[in-house]
Every structure is written in structure tokens, then in C-alpha cells.
Amino acid sequence: MKNRNEMVLKYMVLGLCLLCGMNLKAQCKVENQYFQTGEVLTYDMYFKYGILYTKAGTSSLSVTDDTYAGNDAYRMTLEAKSGGIAKSFFSMSDTLSSWMTKKLVPLAYAKDAHENGDYTNERAVYTYLPEGGVSLRNINIRNEKLRYDTTLVSDNCMYDMLSIVYYARTLEYATMKKGDKKTVSFFSGRKKVDMDIEYHGVEKVSANDGKKYNCIKLVLMMNERAFEDKNEAMKVFITNDYNRIPVRIDSKLKVGSTRAVLKAYKGQRN
């Protein structure tokens, strides 16, 4: 009888653990009304060192259908290449990919970056744990040498550099006031940080297609938990409509900053 009770208790605990893992994945699910497979956005890129922006190349964001671990998925891809004068002092050819379920649950992330003669290969895989939470294993190799192989764990949904942009497009901003924010877990290299998506109202933003767009201004802040320091990672301006197209993305670098300005778009959902 004792062994039977212990077995029943064991299976009850296992069932609860599985339920916790399923619940986290369910909590990460998002109803996407703003983009679809086939969306392609192209941008002019600029680099700022000092006070001036210099044309640095082109980039694109695209959404395609894919499969991951046998499941239907979106593949979001960012491709960026340097060009013009900027290429003479900083050459770059980067491809970033993020796989998400059709309910926008992150599954995997990949980065292949050729920058000034260095090649970086990064691969990250999300695992939703049966005891609850999510584990992310991230392997980074530069010039064929392992830089790190680390595993990060979060009790909440976790996002990467690309999936965070698509997730931010789905939030309900109509009910927000300036300064309101949504906090999520975010991985940056070998570290997990809190990412605050702060709503900063609506602004007119010029694009490189000759148009001006009413845009929702978002400031993405990385909050170092250990030190309570906040650093701006990105400013993202998305159209204030049912497509939520990123019109301008400003990103901070260790030296200088970059700016991507919308040039053309196709394949919108609405």
C-alpha cells in the first residue's frame, strides 16, 4: 500500500510539473493580428559615430513559413550588409533568424555575422521545462573558436534580439500612457536581463519612401538585475495602425549607434 501511495504521489507531482511547463508555454502565446508570412520590409542603414549619421548599407526583415522540431513555425529573418563609404572602414554581412510558433512562442535563434574579417556563429535553443520555466542554451563560436556555451533559465517567457521586435508589435498600446511599460526576460550573449518595452506616445516619422507615418514610439531598455542599471538598447517606431510596421529602428552599439529607416514594404497582413 505504501509503495502504491508513493507511486500515485510521484505521478501526481510529475503531472503537476508537466502542467507547469505547459502553462508557461501557454502564457507566452500571443494572438498576432499585425503581420503574416510573406511580409518583407527593406531598410537603408546608417551608422553614427560622433554627431553625424553616415549611409552604411541596407537591411531587410522578412517572415516566412517554416518548421521547427516538427512543428509549424514562423521564421523571422534579418539580413544586413554594409555598403558605400562605410564599407571601407566597417564591412558587415549579418543574418539573424528567429523561429517562433504561430502563437509567437520563441523556439530558436541563430546569428551568422561576418564583420571586419571576423566570423561569429551563434545558436540558441529554447526548452520549456516540465517543472515550469524556460531554459535557453546559447553557443557562440568566433573564428572557429568556442567563446561560450551557456544555459540560462527564466521563470517567465524569454526573447532574443529579433523575436522581441515582433513581440513588441503585438502589444496593446491604445490603453497605455507615456511611461507605461511591459517587462520581459531577454537574453543578450551569455546574460539574461530584464527588457522593459516602454511606451513613449505617438510621433510623426519620415521614411525613405518619401512618406511620413504616425508611429508608436517604443524605447527598449535593458535592466541589469544585479545592479539595477538601465541601458537603452533600441528605439523602435512602429506604424500606429493594424500593420505595426517598424519604420525606424535605432540601436546602440559599444561604439556609436545604427539606424534603420524603412525604404519599402510588401506582403502586409492588413
Q: How far apart are CA 265 and CA 270, in angstroms?
A: 12
Which of 100 and 256 is assigned the larger pLDDT? 100
Helix (H) or strand (E) holding 14: helix 2-28
Domain boundaries, the chain: 2-266
Please report which confidence band the pLDDT of residue 10 belongs to, taking 50, 70 and 90 as the band edges. very low
165: cell is 521586435
pLDDT recorded at residue 87: 67
Which of 86 and 104 is assigned the larger pLDDT? 104
**Residues contacting 3, CB < 8 A, separation 6+:** none
pLDDT recorded at residue 255: 65
pLDDT recorded at residue 265: 97
pLDDT recorded at residue 189: 87
The predicted-structure confidence for 123-145, as pLDDT tens digits, reads as follows 999 999 988 899 999 999 999 99
pLDDT exceeds 50 at position 15 = no
pLDDT exceeds 50 at position 5 = no
pLDDT exceeds 70 at position 230 = no
pLDDT recorded at residue 26: 82
Q: Phi, psi at residue 156, to the nearest 5°? A: -115, 175
Q: What is the residue-averaged pLDDT of the chain?
A: 87
Task: Count CA atoms within 13 Å of residue 22 on its CB side.
Answer: 6
| Percentage of residues of the chain with pLDDT beyond 70 | 85
Three-state SS for 192-258 is: EEEEEEEEEEEEEEECCCCCEEEEEEEEEEEEECCCCEEEEEEEEEEECCCCCCEEEEEEECCCCEE
Q: How many Cβ atoms sit within 10 Å of the Cβ of residue 195?
A: 25
pLDDT exceeds 70 at position 225 = no
214: cell is 504616425
